[in-house]
Amino acid sequence: MLTAFPGHDEHLRPAPAPADDATLRAAVWIDLVAPTPDEAAAVARATGFTVPTEASASEIEASSRLATRDGVLYLSMPLILRSEDGPLGVPAGFVLSPQQLLTVRFAPNAVFDAFASRTPRGADVHPGSAHVLIGLLEAIVDRQADALEQVAHELDQISHRIFAMGVRQRGGRKREDATLRVTLGQIGRLGDLISHVRDTLVGAGRIGPYVESAAAAWLPKDLAPRIKTLQQDIASLNDFDTHLNDKLQFLLDATMGFINIAQNNVMKVMTIASVVGIPPVLVAGVYGMNFKNIPEYDWAFGYAYGLGLIVLTTLIPLAIFRWRKWI
């Protein structure tokens, strides 16, 4: 999908579709979402830009993500795509010149749509391409902050559930095992989200200083404070991301600890059952032998004696285990 935003005023209003070459040349921001070959060719023909492909935007080297060719800045960073299977990293490309900004997304992203549709106020006006880029980066960082706040809330809920489970034994082992399995899945999903948020913050953190230095000759002076504030926000979010990652690892260790305790309890029950069963099995084996000279065979109460001996040899180990507080 191709959307062009003419720069005739401070507001971002999409031009009527389909956009012709004249509209594309006059646009301050051109947004491509999963572009078709025809759309990419039309943008390249009208602007002279090299439209980033998904493969080029996915490069992880700093020299590939941040480059300048013929006075035009080619930038890329990963974004987050929420799906039913969990968060996924999707690359996005940015091409910045003094007159135009080209963004290439390979999956829909709510941040871009919300940024394009909002009404600018005060410092949020968009008079030029660099203002649009910095505004997009600010919106992306704000969305990552919201994601980290959500992660922190979910980790608090998981922490309460895990440690409350260690105090209140309700619902039996089957319910506890199901809770632990669900908790492991939630921790894994949140770990993926934290990792993707960190990747996005690192990408945004690299773009700001690079644009400030590479485009120093034509970058509007009023953007310098916003770039500095953006870097400070990213630094604080990186610290918070590290804190959440540490807490996530702690909760993962705690969950695995409860799983190990549950497994140890199962093994303890099996061990006790096997030890307790040895003496009565031995007694039953002795009196189960078919020899004529066994004196208990002629007793009137021989059966009761053997049965009582089996019960007694079962209770004695249990009493010893109870006395030693092993059970």
167 confidence band (pLDDT: 50, 70, 90): low
Mean pLDDT calculated for residue range 265-285: 86
DSSP labels, 72-122: EEEEEEEEEE--TT--EEEEEEEEE-SS-EEEEESS--HHHHHHHHSPP-G
Contact predicate 6/13, CB 8 Å? yes
Query: Which pair of structure tokens corresponds to residue 299?
Result: 């007793």
Residues of the chain with CATH 3.30.460.20: 2-262
The helix-helix angle for 223-287 and 129-165 (nearest 10°) equals: 20
What is the CB neighbour count within 10 angstroms for residue 201? 24
| Beta-strand relationship, 2-6 and 72-81 | unpaired
pLDDT digits 0-9 by tens, 3-35? 888 865 556 777 777 777 787 787 888 888 888
pLDDT digits 0-9 by tens, 175-208? 777 778 888 888 888 988 899 999 999 989 999 8
Residues of the chain with CATH 1.20.58: 264-323
What is the C-alpha to C-alpha distance for residues 126 and 224, in angstroms, rounded to an integer? 15
For residue 32, the SS3 value is strand
pLDDT digits 0-9 by tens, 80-93? 887 777 788 888 89
Report the pLDDT value the prediction gives residue 125, as an integer from 0 to 100.
55
Q: Is the pLDDT of residue 162 over 60?
A: yes
What is the CB neighbour count within 10 angstroms for residue 249? 12
Compute the mean pLDDT over every residue in the chain, rounded to the nearest whole number.
84
pLDDT digits 0-9 by tens, 98-156? 888 999 998 888 888 888 776 554 445 557 888 889 989 999 999 999 999 999 999 99
Report the pLDDT value the prediction gives residue 122, as an integer from 0 to 100.
47
For residue 157, the SS3 value is helix
Handedness of CA 170, 172, 178, 183 (dihedral sign): positive
Query: Which pair of structure tokens corresponds to residue 239?
Result: 């610290």
DSSP 171: S
Q: What kind and span of H or E run contains 35?
A: none
Backbone angles phi, psi at 17, to 5 degrees: -90, 150
Query: Which pair of structure tokens corresponds to residue 187?
Result: 């921790």
CATH number belonging to the domain at 2-262, selected among 3.30.460.20, 1.10.10.10, 3.40.50.2300, 3.40.50.1820 = 3.30.460.20
User: In the chain, count of helices (H) and strands (E)?
Assistant: 9, 6
What is the C-alpha to C-alpha distance for residues 34 and 57, in angstroms, rounded to an integer? 13
For residue 4, the SS3 value is strand
CATH topology of domain 264-323: Methane Monooxygenase Hydroxylase; Chain G, domain 1 (1.20.58)
